[in-house]
Structures are given as structure tokens and as C-alpha cells.
Structure 1
Amino acid sequence: MKKRDFLKLSSTLLATPVLPPLANLIAVEKIKNWAGNFEFSTTRLEQAKSLQQVQKLVKGYGKMKVIGTRHCFNRIADSPDQLISLVEMKQVLALDTKAKTVTVDANMKYGDLATYLNNKGFALHNLASLPHISIAGACATATHGSGIKNGNLATAVAAMEIVLANGEVRTLSRTKDGEAFRAAVVHLGGLGVVTKITLDIQPTFMMRQYVYENLPLEELKNHFEAIESSAYSVSLFTDWQKKRINEVWLKKRVGPGEKGDAKPEFYGAKLATKNLHPIAELSAVNCTEQLGVPGPWYERLPHFRMGFTPSSGKELQSEFFVPYRNAIEAILAVERLRDYISPHLLISEIRTIDADDFWMSPCYKQPSMAIHFTWKPDWPSVRKVLPMIERELAPFKVRPHWGKLFTLAPAQLQSRYEKLPEFKQLMAEYDPKGKFRNEFLNTNLLGR
């Protein structure tokens, strides 16, 4: 299907709710992920509304997986045996203004928490492009926003409560548990069921968002550091054609007395005069406000507003992380594949993420750049292109996003994580019989 025809078809989905109510899916119809590109391997699904119910379910089943907002594009959360959902566990449990932390049920969505925090005068350090995702799921897979000095969303985690395979409840905190905590935050669903998370917060702040069009690739090559440092959060959108970045999204914090006047040019790119969608052919009605209009942090950091279908509707996604020091080399390597990528692509996004110390994070001990691909929903074609991208990025020891589509060989993937042997030991300690393991974990982590 041509890109223009696909976008006309998918644009009819833009005003629909993000997901159907999970309760309507229980034992009634196949359970699908957000994009609809795969069905879970069972319709057996039980909901837990309390910690005690989670413990009961965990002790009652031999094999199981937890599903959240289902925004993963692969089978990381799949199970042929039993699924459980914490969809009803979505409340703010405690706000500690002195310690500057908030404790929430793990299945709370970032969009809902952000509204609550802002009303109390607080903020999170960053948000992903979509506010529709659950806090537990995002942290478990090292999901991120953008910003050269901003760590991924999991770096805000100060403590977590997890139910182990035997039903035991264990609490881990940054201050008390050291390496065990750093091992467990990005856990990939392999350690247990996270039921509660405590996040660092800060005073609320205002932001402005500006979009520039048609940044020459040569300017990006020559001024990458300056471009990425020019705002609190920077996103570069490209279709890899015409030797340019289609759109540069700059999300800037508003300082005291700042007027917010934007320059008409930004390294050769032109200031947009209307709100834009990352995919130029689509309406920007569901995108966060641009044109320098000031607004609260949670209405500027994401690309899409809460309550509507984000991005283009049905799509596939892949994302690859490389060390920040190799950013330009990696961008140019992918750009060489433009004619292979373009027929299957809706848009790519380039972002930067600061280093963290979580064992299974793609940004473990290295500031990183991530190249994201939003694909047309044509897996046979995408599956042919992904190995080409992975080969081009192999010299930089590329790491794929755990929740998105990749074809990297398990042996290569495992070699990229120096703490994987210790993480396997932790999995064996927390879950000795493999209750929370599935085909994805067995293949990609354990090599089985």
C-alpha cells in the first residue's frame, strides 16, 4: 500500500479511544496488543484489584505473564498459559512533599499521574512521546523520552514493590538495596509482578514547544552536539529522503520573565507557522501544542495528547540504541539505506538519552542515541529491512528496544549486556521454576 493511501485510511482512527476496555476482552475475544500486529497466545485473563489478589493469583498458577497497556510490539509479555492484569490498580498511594516522591499503583498511566502531580505543584523529569503507557511497563522496558541530560523514565524510580514467584512481597529501594535495586528496575517481566512504584518528583514547570522544518543533514552532521543541547528535549523526525531532517521538535523550559521569541531559522531549518504532526500528511489536532505557546510540562513533553489515538493508528515500531559518541556515524549508516527503508516507513525519530546504571537498560553506563522507526503494518516487508539496519549499526554494538520489533540474533543481543550473567542469577533466585519466563525471555536472554 502506498504511504498516501495508507495515511488516508488510518486517519479515520485518530479520534477513537486508545484501547478498548480490557474487561470486554476477557474470555470473549482474542487479546491483541495496541497496534493489533499480534494476538496473545491465550484468552485466559484474570484481573487483580489488590496486592493480596496478586499474591493469590501468582501462587495459584504455574506459568503466567502480566499485561499492562499492551504497547509492546513483540511477544515480551506473551503467555500461552495465563495472563493477569492490574488494570484496576491505578491510584496514587502517597505524595511525600518533603522527600519529593510519589508512590503509585504500578498500572497507573503517565498521563493520569501527570495531571495529578501538576495540580499539586509537582512534575516528573521527563515523559515518553505517548502519555498513554503504564508506569510499570515503561520502566520494565527502559522506555524513554528525549534530552541529552535526561535519563529514561526508569531513572525516576526510587523504590518498587514486587511479588515474587512464591507470592512473597519484596520491596527494593535505591537507598537501601544497591545492586539488587539496579538489577530489578528494568526487569523485562522476568522477576515477578511489580505492584507499586515510588518516583522522584520536582517542582512543576512550564514549557514552550517549537518546530522547525527541513534541517539539512549536513548541518546536523556538523552541529549535532549544539542541536541536541539546544532544548530540554529534542526530537528529530525524518523519512531519510532528500538529505534532510523533516522536522525538529524543540521542547524548552520557560524561565522567569522569558518572552519565548523564536528565531526564524535554526541551523538552516525554517520555523513552522502552524502545528505539525510528525507525519506531515496527518492532522496535528491530536499533537501537543506548538508555536511557542506556553503550557505545563505534561502538555509539552509528549508528542501526543492524552485521550486520542497516538501517532498514525495501526503501525509497527522498532528502535535501536547506539552510544552517543557514535551518533552521527550511526545516522549516516542508516541514511545509506534510505531507498530500502522508505517504501515501508511512516517516519523515524532520533532522540538522545542520558546514561543510567540499570543492568538490562540499553543505556547502561553509556549516554545513548536512539533511532526509532514507525513502520507501515506490513511485517513481511519490515522483517526484511530490519536485518539490514542491524548490520549497519552492528559496529556500534547496537541494542534494540526490548518492547519493539528486532531480528538481532540472541547471541549478539546477549553479548551487548555485560551484567546479563548476574541478571540470570537474579531470575533464578526470584523465580527458580521459571513461572514468569516465556518464549521471548528464553530465546533472547537465556539462549534456549
Structure 2
Amino acid sequence: MKTNWGGNLRYGASGFRRAGSVAEVQDIVAASDRLRVLGSRHSFSDIADTAGIHLSLEDMGGIEAIDPERRKVTVGGGIRYADLARGLQAQGWALANMASLPHISVAGAVVTATHGSGSGIGNLATAVAAIEFVTGRGEVLRLARGEDAFAGAVVNLGALGVMVRLTLDIEPTYDVRQTVYLGLSHDVLAEAFEAVFAAGTSVSVFTGWQGARAHAVWVKDRVRAAGAPPNEIFGARAAEAAQHPLPGAPAESCTVQMGVAGPWHERLPHFRPDVVPSNGAEIQAEYFLPRDRARQAIAVLRRHGDRLAPVLMVSEVRTVAADGLWLSPSRGEPYFGLHFTFRRDWEAIRAVLPALEADLAPLGAVPHWGKVTTMAPEQIAARYPRMAEFRDLVAAHDPAGRLRNGFVERMVFGRAG
């Protein structure tokens, strides 16, 4: 596994190991000078890269226990969302939220504050009730919600240790229907932003930021009563055929649309778990901004539409609720994400990002930890008031720096790595 999923990054690891138990993880950590966990490889930044050992937890990817009274599930550190969702559904349980790609690992999504969508739903890390990890010291540490440092240890960029076990909130299973609407006006999106994203449990707007209208609005809504979804919302009409997020791409790889109700895990993601999602040969960037800056941000993106067009395949807008996790972009206030799927041409992307980032930065933008950016590390760190405390956590749990890499050195410690 020399490259990440998108093919834009070639890893520099000197070796590859698999672990099937916590004891094996402890042994591998103790024997390694440098180590990073390699999950599903869906990060586009170098967050998972290392010059040392890549450790896979795929053999630790099962559901260990479901506690129906406390509404919790405990899983191994290598589990992916598709497998977790199928296992929960089989026993009548569900997650409140899922990523658009069910292919990704739960631990990888948690440590990077990756999100699904929903104005009233937190990012995927907010479902974590407890974590257990092997620290850089080789010790097993368990932290639970409400304990000291828990809020700093969940979104941890892989810098505290190897996450070997997670306990997540669950709820009884439910059905969702997914309807795609075409032709939403960019002006309406800006003026009625909150209302547009309140149209369903989970809403995504796809656009190229050119012209007067967005490509599509994907509305995923919990089925609470009988009846069909509306044929029109905010001037956008329901699509007459299934759609792909990339305009013109075949929709066979996508989850069922057309307002047909089905289990939560077969509707909340955009893509089916048995196919290659999105385009494959791509590079992604994403920025998070306070939700009250949406109108200004949309104006910025429309100004940049023509500059982005030669390299942009599609952009997606989503909303996420506030949380209290130290390194989450939404700590303290609700936010929205501006996601970009670019053609796999880093030089062309690098030519357009700085100007875009310069216009978004005054609005409070921060990049996704697992996506590409040209923003300066010190500028990013300044957006996180508790970054200094997080550095102390890293120093306490990994004093020898076994889990550090160039990404952690730059983004957390402000040093070239």
C-alpha cells in the first residue's frame, strides 16, 4: 500500500505490520522508533504518512459488544462504517450519522473530525462515548466522556497513540428516504441557507459555483409519517432519474434515491460500499466556517467559480452541529463545510487554492485535517484555542515521539517535519 486512495500521495513507510490484538499493538509500538496507523487511506493530506512503520488494524475490525440498556456499541479499532452499519442493522440498531463514504474506517474518521451532514447532528467524533488506545509509551489507556482530557483525546490526529477500541452511541434502527432536487438558485442558497439545510435530516448541495444555479440538492430525511416527499423545494424540482454527485456520471454507484424509503445505512451515505466511490482519481480539499458566515462564503466561491472550473469536478456544501472537542472545527459553534473534489492535478490545484484560502480565511475558515491545503500551519493552529493543551497531551502520552510524523510536527508543534 504505497499510495493513498486518491493516488496523490506516495507513502514513505519503511515497513508494514498487522496487529490482531491489543498485546500485538503494544509489542509493535514498543519496538518502533516511528509508527503511524494506516486505515482506509482516504486522507489526501500526509496525516497518515511516516518514514517508520505503517500499522494496520484491519484484523481488529469487529463489533465486540452491544449494550442495549446504555445504547452503546464497542468496536475494534480497525472497523469500517459499512461493516459496523450492517452489524448494527442486523440487531435492530443504528448510528445517528454516517459519512458519505461508508468505506472509511471509524477510527480514522474520529481522529480527523470527519463528518456526515445535518444541521442538528455533530461530526462523527461526537458519537464517541469512550476510547481505548495504546499510547506512545506502550500503555493501554481508556478515556470516557466526561473525564479529564477526553475532549482533547478524541480528535487526536493519530498523535496520542493507536486507537484499539471505541465505544459509540447508538439508537434503534430507522428508515430514511433520499430525494434529489435540481436547479437551486445560488441566490436562494445564500439568502435561505439555514432553511435549505433544514429541509431534511441530512442535506448536501452540489455545485460548480458557476452560473446562477447549483447542480443538485440531496435531501436525506428520516421517515416519520406516510406520504411522498415534495416535488419542489426552494424553486428546485425533484429529479426524474437518479443522480451522481459528479454531473453526468452514472448513478449506479450511489445509494437509492427517488424518495424510496430504506434502512438508514443504505441512504445516509452517498455511495454504496461495494463500489469505488466518487471518481477515484481525485484530490479533495475542504474548509469549515462558522454557519453565520455562509452568505459571505458563497459570494467568495461564486467569484472564484471561473478560476476553479478547469480543475474542479464538483463542490459540496454541508452543515454540522456544534461540539466541544478541542481539535474539532465546530468546537463551540455550528459550522458548515465547503468540500471540493478536484481532478488529480496537484500543480493546478496549488495554483488556485492560495487565493481562495486568502478570501475564506477572514471568515474563520479552517481546513479538514485529512484534506489538502496551502494554509500556513501557524494560521490553522491559531484557530484552535486549546492547541497548546493538546501539545501537552501529546507530550504526556508519547514523550518519545513514536507517533509523530511531518504532519504532526507542522500542524501541532509548528516545526518543519
Does residue 287 (structure 1) correspond to residue 261 (structure 2)? The answer is no
Q: Tell me the secondary structure at the aligned position of residue 107 of structure 1.
A: coil
**Residue 156 of structure 1, aligned match among 95, 117, 127:** 127
**Residue 83 of structure 1, aligned match among 30, 51, 54:** 54
- 1:366-417 CA-to-partner distances (Å, cap 9, x unmatched) read 1001000000000000011111111110111211000000010111111111
Q: Tell me the secondary structure at the aligned position of residue 343 of structure 1.
A: coil
**Residue 232 of structure 1, aligned match among 188, 194, 201:** 201
**Residue 354 of structure 2, aligned match among 369, 381, 387:** 387
Does residue 60 (structure 1) correspond to residue 40 (structure 2)? The answer is no
Question: Residues 191 and 295 of structure 2 are in contact (CA less than 8 Å); yes or no, is this contact kept in structure 1?
Answer: no
Q: Tell me which residue corresponds to 2:400.
A: 433
Question: 1:299 and 1:330 mapped to 2: Cα distance?
Answer: 32
Does residue 410 (structure 1) correspond to residue 381 (structure 2)? The answer is no
**Residue 180 of structure 2, aligned match among 201, 211, 214:** 211
Question: Residues 5 and 280 of structure 2 are in contact (CA less than 8 Å); yes or no, is this contact kept in structure 1?
Answer: no
Q: Tell me the secondary structure at the aligned position of residue 215 of structure 2.
A: strand
Q: Tell me the secondary structure at the aligned position of residue 435 of structure 1.
A: coil
Q: Tell me which residue corresponds to 1:323.
A: 290
Q: How far is the alpha carbon of 1:42 from its aligned partner?
A: 2.1
Q: Tell me the secondary structure at the aligned position of residue 374 of structure 2.
A: coil
Q: How far is the alpha carbon of 1:147 from its aligned partner?
A: 0.5
Question: Residues 232 and 238 of structure 2 are in contact (CA less than 8 Å); yes or no, is this contact kept in structure 1?
Answer: yes
* Residue segments in structure 1 that go unaligned for 5+ positions in a row: 1-24, 26-30
Question: 1:157 and 1:387 mapped to 2: Cα distance?
Answer: 34
Q: Tell me which residue corresponds to 1:112.
A: 83
Structure 2 matches for 1:354-373, cutoff 5 A? 354-373=321-340
Question: Residues 342 and 349 of structure 2 are in contact (CA less than 8 Å); yes or no, is this contact kept in structure 1?
Answer: yes
- 1:127-185 CA-to-partner distances (Å, cap 9, x unmatched) read 0100000000000000000000000001000001010112110000004x14x110000
Question: 2:230 and 2:327 mapped to 1: Cα distance?
Answer: 41
Question: Residues 132 and 141 of structure 2 are in contact (CA less than 8 Å); yes or no, is this contact kept in structure 1?
Answer: yes
Q: How far is the alpha carbon of 1:43 from its aligned partner?
A: 4.4
Q: Tell me which residue corresponds to 1:222.
A: 191
Q: Tell me which residue corresponds to 2:99.
A: 128
Q: Tell me the secondary structure at the aligned position of residue 115 of structure 2.
A: coil
Q: Tell me which residue corresponds to 2:161.
A: 192
Does residue 70 (structure 1) correspond to residue 41 (structure 2)? The answer is yes
Does residue 267 (structure 1) correspond to residue 234 (structure 2)? The answer is yes
Q: Tell me the secondary structure at the aligned position of residue 215 of structure 1.
A: coil
Q: How far is the alpha carbon of 1:365 from its aligned partner?
A: 1.0
Q: Tell me which residue corresponds to 1:22.
A: none
Matched pairs, number: 415
**Residue 102 of structure 1, aligned match among 58, 61, 73:** 73
Q: Tell me which residue corresponds to 1:21.
A: none
AA partner of residue 140 (structure 1): V
Q: How far is the alpha carbon of 1:359 from its aligned partner?
A: 0.4
Question: 1:219 and 1:167 mapped to 2: Cα distance?
Answer: 54
Does residue 342 (structure 1) correspond to residue 305 (structure 2)? The answer is no
AA partner of residue 233 (structure 1): S
Q: Tell me the secondary structure at the aligned position of residue 89 of structure 2.
A: helix
Q: CA RMSD in A?
A: 0.9
Q: How far is the alpha carbon of 1:87 from its aligned partner?
A: 1.4
Q: How far is the alpha carbon of 1:245 from its aligned partner?
A: 1.2
Question: 1:292 and 1:81 mapped to 2: Cα distance?
Answer: 48
Q: Tell me the secondary structure at the aligned position of residue 244 of structure 1.
A: coil
Q: How far is the alpha carbon of 1:264 from its aligned partner?
A: 2.4
Q: Tell me which residue corresponds to 1:244.
A: 213
Q: Tell me which residue corresponds to 1:48.
A: 19
Structure 2 matches for 1:159-174, cutoff 5 A? 159-174=130-145
AA partner of residue 389 (structure 2): E
**Residue 314 of structure 1, aligned match among 264, 281, 285:** 281
Q: Tell me which residue corresponds to 1:28.
A: none
Question: Residues 333 and 392 of structure 1 are in contact (CA less than 8 Å); yes or no, is this contact kept in structure 2?
Answer: yes
- 1:30-71 CA-to-partner distances (Å, cap 9, x unmatched) read x11011111110241011111000000011111111111111
Question: Residues 246 and 314 of structure 2 are in contact (CA less than 8 Å); yes or no, is this contact kept in structure 1?
Answer: yes
Does residue 421 (structure 1) correspond to residue 388 (structure 2)? The answer is yes
Question: 2:363 and 2:199 mapped to 1: Cα distance?
Answer: 25
Could you tell which deviates more after superposition, 215-224 or 401-410? Answer: 215-224
- 1:50-108 CA-to-partner distances (Å, cap 9, x unmatched) read 10000000111111111111110011111112211111111110110111000000110
* Residue segments in structure 2 that go unaligned for 5+ positions in a row: none
Q: How far is the alpha carbon of 1:262 from its aligned partner?
A: 2.6
Question: Residues 253 and 272 of structure 2 are in contact (CA less than 8 Å); yes or no, is this contact kept in structure 1?
Answer: yes
Question: 1:63 and 1:276 mapped to 2: Cα distance?
Answer: 44
Question: 1:420 and 1:98 mapped to 2: Cα distance?
Answer: 36
Q: Tell me the secondary structure at the aligned position of residue 252 of structure 2.
A: coil
- 1:273-313 CA-to-partner distances (Å, cap 9, x unmatched) read 11000112110001010000010000110000011100012
- State the identity %: 45
Q: Tell me which residue corresponds to 1:401.
A: 368
Could you tell which deviates more after superposition, 41-50 or 369-378? Answer: 41-50
